[in-house]
Structure 1
Amino acid sequence: MTTSFKFDLHTHNELCGHATGTIEDYVQAAVKNGLNVIGISDHTPYFHSEEDHPFPRITMARSGFSNYIEEVLRLKEKYANQIEVLLGIESDFFPELNHVYKQYLEKEPFDYIIGSVHFVDEVSIFKRGRWEGLTSAEKVTTKENYYRLIEQSARCGTFQILGHIDAMKGYYPEFSTIEVDAIDHTLRVIGESDLVIEINTSGKTKDSGGWYPADDILERALFHNVGVTFGSDAHIPERVGDEFDEVKRRLKEIGFTEWNYFVNKQKQAIHL
């Protein structure tokens, strides 16, 4: 496998209500941008809700789940001679509800499942005002709770990839300066669980800028033998593969020698 092999495992589409473009638009963008592999990974429905579509601008409807899978599989066949299309999905992680999500996700032929923590203490990690008025101690507790959830997601057995593991800095850049021991503990668990974390280039669309996670976390991830993958987290087709070459170069500088994608939940290692 050549060193020019390009892939992107984190893309969304119009089904989640906060991205633009059809699934096929993202596949076509990947072909145009010279990718070898494109993973489609829109947000899971809220499987734990009695409503079909309680938050139309956050996730797909439960009634649209099977259509999503069928469409990705159709495109996998249609574009087989141009690009490898992978069936992925990004799942919220709620520890007390993981068994509900698992029931739905394990039935389907996913190549990989990205597990992402989007809520801490029942508040969105991207809620701008959530840090206002907190004491230093409360900020530490919040960050520790975030990484405790990520650790639980690593242990739960549902995921192959853990998504954007410092995304809580998105609308609160000072998050990165809150000192906690939990990050190293969580990275050690991720490494022991043989999962990978993504380098997610969508941080550039938030106040924090940069990537998720930051370089210091990637250096610690390497120390703890945590594997890595690439995801643009594209919500518009034009961002497919965004900054792939820059991430690859930076990972090599940090000391990584390979990164990974998944087919049928089996890790495929690519030399950097």
Structure 2
Amino acid sequence: MKFDLHTHHERCGHATGTIADYVEAAIGAGLTVVGISDHSPYFAHEDDQPFPRIAMARSDFQRYVSEVLRLKEEYKGRIEVLLGIESDFFVDKLDAYREAYAAYPFDYVIGSVHQTRGVSIFNRNRWKNLGPKEQLEEKKHYYELIRLSANSGMFQILGHIDAMKGYYPGFADIAGAEAEIDEALKAVAANDLAIEINTSGKTKDVGGWYPSDAILERALHFGVDVTFGSDAHVPERVGDELELVRQRLIEIGFDRWVFFRNKEKVAVPI
């Protein structure tokens, strides 16, 4: 069984193609299951779509859900289409997001920390003029937010948990945050969530995948489940490097990965 739970489409403003394009691409890639998980609206913002090139409008959210549910029925028998969403995690705005998601039959919600201290994790300028001590504090804070997201009760999957290295590869070499990483992974395991192996890092400066092999080894140690997501923003990337990821997980020692249906974990032998 092959699946990809992390795909986007044109609503978010920085991806191309319709939802149906991604479903068709998944069929072409030989997938059994495809999850649609575009960027959630900024539910706590006063504007309907404050950042049109980052996330969909709040007023478009119901249409997004309805379209995925329609395609779920339309493609039944050819491929299983899952209703997902990639949610931002703002520790002080959880109620707005929780209320928005409660109204719809999501198969899963991906929780992703995209900002810390109000700055995008992909903003390479955030690292300018920071000394080693300040860099370490930023890394620790990032993993504290990931731990809090795991404990929030909102998510089934945590997205790209070392993506801060995307446009700052040196992030991976900042030593001293091992305890915070471990606490985040323990929280994932305790809440029966999964972390994704996300192959979109290859499209950024860092290259490769999220998370690193070192984090995956720690995840296995703590009994954390894993899933797969291409984080495709073009249909051609659906399922990208899935087989390479599968082989690497076997080498690390994993014997299964998971997807979610109706927010229930489905384990698949690797």
User: Matched residue of 1:204: which SS?
Assistant: helix
1:192 CA displacement = 1.2
User: Matched residue of 2:155: which SS?
Assistant: coil
In the TM superposition, 1:197-236 aligns within 5 A as: 197-236=195-234
Decide which of 257, 266, 269 is 2:255's aligned counterpart. Answer: 257
Residue equivalent to 1:79: 75
Residue equivalent to 1:160: 156
- Cα distance in 2 between the residues matched to 1:187 and 1:194: 11
Report runs of 4+ in structure 1 exceeding 3 Å deviation: none
- Cα distance in 2 between the residues matched to 1:159 and 1:229: 13
Decide which of 42, 52, 56 is 2:52's aligned counterpart. Answer: 56
User: Matched residue of 1:95: which SS?
Assistant: coil
Aligned length: 268
Give the residue type in structure 2 aligned to 1:194. Answer: D
User: Matched residue of 1:96: which SS?
Assistant: coil
Decide which of 3, 26, 32 is 2:28's aligned counterpart. Answer: 32
- Cα distance in 2 between the residues matched to 1:69 and 1:189: 29
Decide which of 13, 21, 30 is 2:9's aligned counterpart. Answer: 13
Decide which of 174, 177, 188 is 1:178's aligned counterpart. Answer: 174
- Cα distance in 1 between the residues matched to 2:257 and 2:242: 12
1:121 CA displacement = 1.1
1:142 aligns with 2:138: yes
TM-score with structure 2 length normalisation? 0.99
1:188 CA displacement = 1.2
Residue equivalent to 2:115: 119
- Cα distance in 1 between the residues matched to 2:162 and 2:125: 18
Residue equivalent to 1:245: 243
1:184 CA displacement = 1.1
- Cα distance in 1 between the residues matched to 2:187 and 2:30: 35
1:68 aligns with 2:67: no
Residue equivalent to 1:93: 89
1:106 CA displacement = 1.3
Residue equivalent to 1:266: 264
